[in-house]
Every structure is written in structure tokens, then in C-alpha cells.
Amino acid sequence: MSRKKLRPPGPKGPPIIGVGLTISKDTPDFLTRTAKEFQDLSYFKVLNLHMYYLCKPEYVQHVLQENNKNFYKSVKYKFLKLFLGQGLLTSEGEFWLKQRRLAQPAFHKHKIASFAETMTGDASDMMAEWEKGIEKGNDVVDMHREMMALTLRIVGKTLLSKDLKTSSIDIDTSLGYLIADIFKRVHSVFDIPLWVPIPRNIGFKKARKVLDDVINKIIDDRLSGAETGACLSDRQEDLLSMLIGAEDEDTGEKMPKEQLRDEVMTIFVAGHETTANALTWTLYLLSTHSSVMTKLKAELDEVLDGRTPGLEDSRSLKYTTQVIEESMRLYPPAWIIERTAIGDDKIGDYEISKGDQMIMSPYVMHRDPKYWKEPNTFDPERFSEEGSKERDRYCYFPFGGGPRYCIGANFAMLEMQLVLASICQNYSFSVKEGFHVETEPLVTLRPKNGMPMVLKKISA
């Protein structure tokens, strides 16, 4: 006689749907409440999916690192594949490993170091536009849009040697549409396949085509040697040339164009949206915490003394780094990480089986009072050497963990340091009066309706 499987306790929902409707209304709130009530490990059902929700650092470490081979990206990734294809973020197993090894050299420390000048240069260009706007009497910018355009331009120039300034609005609009749509698909009870010609699917394909056209042109130009543009002259080997030049160890074949498209699309999306969100939230937090801002500025004065920040400053900008880390604690851009078990395993006292879904939420773990004193307070001192001493590695995981750890983490940290330092040296900023700041937890944690901010140039 088969025994009924013992599951952890957890929230219940109506038959068939399970907690599907509740979770889709406000996922971070649902996860926060569930963690509070059921603690380290809970279980719930969403339709036919068995969800295990892991709120203990040890369990997160088990899934992402120790037994990572038993966990693939979750079933929900099939939606992301609708526009990312089989790139680094969405592929699995041997194929993923091969692609990761090919891409890795583009992210080595010495390679990233050579990007510093582009990062500060593009930040300066953005601020020059701000100055022009202020001169014309327009001192309000949507900081989220600004950060999206800036990080896109940086990724384009450094990894693809392409200046995407002129296409950034189209890309931003299409990407925003796709991300919002994917989120709806993930949380809708019934999925309507993309081939069904309903307006929503037509809109999806249209937005995807905008991105495809930009990416295919970048690849075609490179393949045909017909590139033009300022950044080419000083291009060394970039990510795109590494991918194009790579040959299969066994067959000697080059990467098919469709695969190049998927990898470039992935870098495009993963490489700018997350960083833009983190920067926007950091600027927002700074604008509402004057004592932190004062301390940050004191560091900038001491380290930079009015100069443009550069690679050589990144080690010395300690408090700036702490501010970024603390901001990603409260607003982790990748606020939820999910996996599917591909074989049987054990989490705590509970057996899990092939097909079971694991949910881990940096957003909830980063605010859990078991691991953080006054968790809702913005306090960068937590990330000082002293403050970080006792912390468990998996209490804080904005870049994930294990072999699937974010390939762009060092890139993003340098970029955020340099951009933040550049902005705070030159501008003070505050959220436009009357604007209500709200999170929008889609695939990433975005600010809902942007972040309108009033700028004021700091006189020299």
C-alpha cells in the first residue's frame, strides 16, 4: 500500500487552483506572510505544481550550490524562453556549461577593468543631457528610464561594441512590454499559446521583433565585417567576437546564428534591466536618507576630490559599495529565484520528488527579522567588514549562488559604483512631489510607473 507523502505545512487554497489566485495578486506579500507563519519550509499547491518555499539559508545553499545538479530552472522559465530562447539564463546541463565557459572570459576581472572608462564616459554624457534640460527649465527626469538607457548603452558598448543610444527608447518600450507580459503569463491560471492570434500575442510578437531586429543587425554587421561606429576602433575581443569565434570542441563547428541571437538577447536583457533597477532604487533610498547621503558624499570628496571616478577608485569607495549592497538587500532586482527538482532529494525532514518546484526569495530572506536587525531600515553599516562578520552566506543572495551565480556580478558592481559616484558628485535629487513610489514585482523588481526625480546641479 502506498503511503501518502508527508509535506511541510503551508497555506491552503481551493481545490484545483490551490493558492494560484492569492499568490498572483501580490506575490511578495504572499511570500512574506507565508514565511512569517510557516517559517523555514512550507508547501503549497498552484494548479498541479507542488511548490516548496525555502526560507532557511541552509536550504537555499543546498538547492543553488550543494546539490545544484539536481535542480533545473523552474517550469516558469519556459515563458522567458519565448523571447530569450536558449541563452545562458535559460539553458541547462552540458549545453549550458559549454556556453558558460565560452562567455566567461568576457567577464574576467581584467576585461571588466577595461570597461570603466566607458561606464563613466556614458554617465557623463547622460549628465550633460540633464544639464541641457535644466538650462531649458526642465529639471525633472524619469530616473528609471535614464538608468535603463544608460545601462543598455554600457552593455552595448562594452560587450557588443555597439552604441545603442539611438535605439534605446524602442528597446526600452519593447522590453518593458515583454517583461510585463511574461509576468502575466507566469501567473495566469490558463496559458494561451503564442501561436493563437489574439491581440496580446500579436503585441508580444511585435515587441519581440523590435528586439530581434536590433540584435540580428548587430550580429549580421559583425559577421559581414560591415560594422561602423565610434566604439569599434578601440574594440578588443568582446563577448560577441568570442561567441562568433568559438568552435565546438568535438565537431569544430561555429555557433549557429540562432544561438548567437539567443545569447546576445540574454546579455541584452539580463545585463541592463537588473542594474538599472538597482541603481534607481539606490538613488531613491539616498534621496530619502540624508544622513547616508552626507556620509557617501564625504567619501566621494575624500577619495575623488572632485575628479571623475575610475577603476583605481573602486576599492577605496567602500561606503559607496555598502550603500549599493544595502539597497539590493531591500530591493533585490532578482527578487525571486525558482528551480525544478529533476530527481528525488531531501530538504530538511521532507522528501521531495522529481518535478517539485523550489521557491527562494531574496526579497523575503533579505528582510527576515531572524537574520537582520530592524530589517526594514536602510542602514549601509550592515555591510561594513564588522557588520558582515557573522552573516550566513545565503542570508543575502542578490546575485544567486552556486554554478549559476550571475556571470555579470563584478561587471554590475563596478558599473553601479562608478555611475553612483558620478551622479552623487554632480547632482542632488529628490522624488517629484506628490509621486507615490511603489514596487512592481515583475520578472525583476521595478519601480511602478518609473521614478520621476527633480535634479539640482551641485555647483563646483
Residues near ligand HEM, by CB under 6 A: 88-89, 100, 155, 266-267, 270-271, 274-275, 278, 333-334, 337, 398-400, 404, 406-408, 411-412
Residue whose CB is less far from ligand HEM, 11 or 56: 56
Tell me the CA distances in angstroms from 403 to 89, 105, 382, one per residue in order: 12, 15, 27
| Closest CB to ligand HEM among residues 18, 150 | 150
Shortest spacing between CB 103 and ligand HEM, in angstroms: 7
Cβ atoms of 99 and 243 within 8 Å: the answer is no
Smallest distance from ligand HEM to CB 273, Å: 9
Q: How far is the CB of 121 from ligand HEM (least distance, A)?
A: 17
d(CA 318, CA 284): 20
Q: Report the DSSP pairing between strands 357-360 and 49-54.
A: parallel
Q: Which residues, listed in sequence order, are joined to residue 340 by a DSSP beta bridge?
A: 72, 357
Per the CB < 8 A criterion, the answer to whether 282 and 420 are in contact is yes
Identity at 343, one-letter amino acid code:
G
Query: Which residue lies nearer to ligand HEM by CB, 95 or 456?
Result: 95
**8 Å CB contact between 53 and 69:** no
Answer whether 339's CB lies under 8 Å from 72's CB.
yes
For ligand HEM, give the closer residue by CB, 108 or 132: 108
B/e letters for 206-238, b = 16+ CB within 10 Å, e = fewer, are: ebbebbeebbbebbeebeeeeeeeebeeebeeb
Closest separation in Å from C-beta 3 to ligand HEM: 33
Question: Smallest distance from the beta carbon of 65 to ligand HEM, in angstroms?
Answer: 11
Q: Which is nearer to ligand HEM, 369 or 403 (CB)?
A: 403
To ligand HEM, the closest distance from the beta carbon of 244 in angstroms equals 17
DSSP state string for 207-219? HHHHHHHHHHHHH
Smallest separation (angstroms) from ligand HEM to the CB of 442: 14
Q: Which is nearer to ligand HEM, 18 or 263 (CB)?
A: 263
Residue closer to ligand HEM (CB basis): 22 or 274: 274
Output the smallest distance, CB 403 to ligand HEM, in A: 7
**Rounded distance, CA 123 to CA 128, Å?**
9
Q: How far apart are CA 269 and CA 84, in angstroms?
A: 8
One-letter amino acid for residue 100 of the chain: R
Q: How far is the CB of 90 from ligand HEM (least distance, A)?
A: 8
Residue 418 to residue 316: CA distance in whole angstroms: 12
**For ligand HEM, the closer CB: 270 or 359:** 270
Taking the C-alpha atoms of residue 42 and residue 44, their distance in angstroms, rounded to an integer, is: 7
Residue, CB closest to ligand HEM:
408
Please name which of 260, 274, 262, 238 lies closest in space to residue 151, comparing C-alpha atoms.
274
* Closest CB 268 distance from ligand HEM, rounded Å: 9
Residue 349 C-beta-side C-alpha neighbours within 13 Å: 6
Residue nearer to ligand HEM on the CB measure, 219 or 406: 406
Q: Residues 6 or more apart from 454 whose CB is under 8 A from it?
A: 139, 140, 429, 430, 431, 432, 433
The three cell numbers of residue 35 are: 514565511
Give residue 214's Cα distance to chain centre.
Answer: 21
18 vs 339, beta carbon nearer ligand HEM: 339
